[in-house]
């Protein structure tokens, strides 16, 4: 059989990826939620048990993965169930950021307003002139200039809020100024944080849960699927199944893009991947590189104490939820989220390569060659094996046969759109799946 390529006819990118980009939304009430199996997506189900074992050993309670809105993985640990409640910790900050934007959209406030317009004068121990320089945007971006080195960073009393730097000149993860955004919302809208959140966010999306006061903090508590619902809303740019929950797309984009130059990996209370550097709570050191090297570069995350994670990946239509207790003493929650993505990458058969292969390579790999605009496949000892290329929806896009003896093939992709593809190689020892990313043209 000649090693020739058969391209499935497709002229339009919309046709190729249309079904993959249509998001599913569960009903606003009840437990109905459509699912997809890992096999249907061309994923590697044998990699799921190691992922779940890792999560179990690190005190997890719930773990969910959505693909285009449908549940692919949903697992609960110990006695925790789908209907159990758990706290979001600082991941709930992203809900506050969302409703602040909604209040601005409705004309109740501007994020450039001085915070004391809604909190009253003397909400800090700064001078009146210093206090009047702190606006709502500074609270959203952790750049209030208030000292995070005080004895209790959660304290919201004026005596705990001391001026250290000019607002906007210093990034510091300081809970106190953030928490007072609840007072801003109440002062601007005339409603409590819970009432306004329920009306503007939870009702349109079917989310359940509530903020409760714990010490100085307002902590959001919900079932795991409600966290997934919020992630799905974010994945669809603030639109829930045709209902535009947030109309202000400028603000929505500001939520998930760098909000200042001090910590490039921080938006409006969202953590951002794919940036050149990042800072972490309670440190002034700037670390080079991406926050999560093993995660897609466009991922943004809501993250809370003890490893409460809500990760959103627009390029791949993914929402990932982890709830639980603190991981083991050797694990930093930030690093835990990255390790989850390392293992989740195995689940999604991430065999993407980034280099040409040596002539004697024994590595099973597929990678996009931008110079040739082609996909190179190398599966040793699988010569003459058929290869099928599918898009993210599972639709067959191309087919070829590996060359005898060397187990290689080159697939031109001039007709393909940018996106994620799965290569299935029908080797004699069993099927091999490799993920390939075709980037957008520069």
pLDDT of 7 over the 70 cut: no
Instruction: Give the separation between CA 260 and CA 287, rounded to whole angstroms.
Output: 16
CA 223, 43, 315, 23 torsion-angle sign: negative
Task: Look at residue 409 in the predicted model and tell me its pLDDT.
Answer: 74
Q: For the segment 339-372, what is each residue's pLDDT rounded down to a tens digit? A: 999 999 889 876 333 333 333 444 567 777 766 6
pLDDT of 103 over the 90 cut: yes
CA 315, 338, 319, 205 torsion-angle sign: negative
Rounded to an integer, the average pLDDT of 306-332 is 89
CA 98 to chain centre: 15
Task: Look at residue 350 in the predicted model and tell me its pLDDT.
Answer: 64
What percent of the chain stands above pLDDT 90?
Answer: 68
Q: Which is it for strands 318-324 and 365-369: parallel, antiparallel or unpaired?
A: unpaired
Weakest-pLDDT range from 81-90, 138-147, 269-278, 404-413: 404-413
Radius of gyration of the chain (CA): 24
Pick from 55, 78, 57: which is nearest to 347 by CA?
Answer: 55
Pick from 365, 124, 380, 273: which is nearest to 265 by CA?
Answer: 273
Report whether 28 contacts 206 (CB < 8 A). Answer: yes
pLDDT of 18 over the 50 cut: no
Q: For the segment 218-246, what is each residue's pLDDT rounded down to a tens digit? A: 999 999 999 999 999 999 999 999 999 99
| Alpha-carbon distance values, 388 to 35, 97, 361, 411, 425 (Å) | 24, 44, 22, 10, 7
pLDDT of 326 over the 60 cut: yes
pLDDT band at 9 (very low <50, low <70, confident <90, very high): very low
Instruction: Give the separation between CA 273 and CA 295, rounded to whole angstroms.
Output: 8
Mean pLDDT of the chain: 87
Q: For the segment 388-430, what is each residue's pLDDT rounded down to a tens digit? A: 888 766 778 888 887 765 567 777 777 677 777 787 777 666 6
| Alpha-carbon distance values, 325 to 79, 84, 168, 213, 414 (Å) | 13, 14, 34, 19, 48
Residue whose structure tokens are 């599972």: 394
Domains of the chain: 6-16+351-438 (2.60.40.3080), 45-347 (3.40.710.10)
Rounded to an integer, the average pLDDT of 328-332 is 61
Report whether 85 contacts 222 (CB < 8 A). Answer: yes
Residues 6+ apart with CB under 8 A from 208: 202, 222, 223, 226
Task: Look at residue 66 in the predicted model and tell me its pLDDT.
Answer: 98
Task: Look at residue 371 in the predicted model and tell me its pLDDT.
Answer: 64
pLDDT band at 43 (very low <50, low <70, confident <90, very high): confident
The total of other beta-carbon atoms located within 10 Å of residue 183's CB is 16
Q: Which is it for strands 430-438 and 419-427: parallel, antiparallel or unpaired?
A: antiparallel
Pick from 42, 45, 66: which is nearest to 422 by CA?
Answer: 42
What percent of the chain stands above pLDDT 70?
Answer: 85
- Indicate whether this model's pTM tops 0.85: no
Three-class DSSP category at 30: coil
Of residues 185 and 353, more confidence is placed in: 185
CA 322, 328, 329, 335 torsion-angle sign: negative
Task: Look at residue 385 in the predicted model and tell me its pLDDT.
Answer: 78
pLDDT of 44 over the 90 cut: no
Task: Look at residue 53 in the predicted model and tell me its pLDDT.
Answer: 96
Q: Ranked by mean pLDDT, which of 9-23, 153-167, 394-408 comes out on top?
A: 153-167
Pick from 332, 92, 322: which is nearest to 197 by CA?
Answer: 92
Half-sphere exposure of 137 (CA within 13 A, CB side): 13
- Residue 4 burial (C-beta neighbours within 10 Å; 0-12, 13-18, 19+): exposed
Residues 6+ apart with CB under 8 A from 344: 51, 65, 320
Query: What six digits make up the tokens of 237?
Result: 């740019």
pLDDT of 106 over the 80 cut: yes
């Amino acid at each position: 059989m000649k090693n020739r390529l058969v391209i499935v006819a497709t002229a339009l990118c919309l046709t190729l990826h249309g079904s993959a980009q249509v998001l599913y939304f569960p009903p606003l009430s009840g437990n109905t939620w459509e699912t997809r199996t890992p096999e249907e997506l061309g994923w590697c189900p044998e990699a799921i048990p190691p992922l779940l074992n890792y999560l179990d050993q690190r005190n997890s309670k719930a773990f969910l993965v959505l693909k285009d809105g449908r549940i692919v993985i949903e697992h609960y640990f110990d006695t925790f169930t789908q209907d159990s409640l758990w706290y979001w910790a600082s991941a709930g900050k992203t809900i506050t950021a969302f409703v602040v934007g909604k209040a601005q959209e409705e004309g109740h406030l501007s994020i450039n307003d001085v915070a004391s317009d809604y909190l009253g004068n003397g909400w800090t121990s700064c001078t009146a002139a210093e206090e009047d320089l702190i606006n709502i945007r500074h609270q959203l971006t952790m750049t209030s200039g208030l000292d995070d080195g005080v004895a209790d960073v959660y304290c919201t009393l004026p005596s705990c809020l001391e001026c250290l730097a000019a607002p906007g000149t210093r990034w510091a993860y300081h809970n106190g100024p953030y928490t007072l955004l609840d007072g801003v919302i109440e002062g601007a809208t005339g409603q409590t944080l819970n009432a306004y959140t329920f009306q503007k966010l939870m009702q349109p999306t079917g989310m359940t849960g509530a903020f409760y006061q714990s010490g100085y903090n307002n902590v959001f508590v919900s079932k795991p699927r409600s966290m997934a619902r919020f992630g799905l809303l974010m994945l669809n740019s603030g639109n829930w199944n045709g209902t535009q929950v947030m109309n202000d797309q400028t603000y929505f984009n500001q939520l998930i893009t760098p909000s200042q130059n001090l910590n490039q990996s921080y938006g409006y209370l969202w953590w951002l991947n794919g940036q050149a550097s990042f800072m972490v709570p309670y440190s002034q050191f700037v670390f080079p590189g991406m926050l999560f090297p093993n995660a897609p570069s466009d991922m943004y995350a809501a993250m809370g104490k003890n490893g409460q994670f809500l990760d959103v990946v627009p390029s791949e239509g993914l929402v990932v939820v982890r709830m639980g207790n603190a991981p083991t003493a050797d694990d930093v929650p930030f690093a835990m989220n990255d390790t989850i993505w390392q293992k989740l990458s195995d689940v999604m058969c991430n065999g993407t390569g980034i280099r040409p292969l040596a002539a004697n390579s024994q590595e099973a790999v597929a990678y996009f060659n931008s110079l040739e605009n082609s996909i190179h496949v190398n599966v040793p000892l699988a010569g003459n094996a058929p290869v099928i290329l599918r898009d993210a929806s599972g639709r067959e896009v191309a087919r070829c046969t590996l060359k005898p003896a060397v187990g290689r093939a080159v697939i031109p992709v001039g007709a393909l759109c940018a996106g994620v593809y799965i290569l299935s190689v029908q080797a004699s020892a069993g099927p091999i799946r490799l993920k390939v990313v075709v980037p957008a043209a520069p």
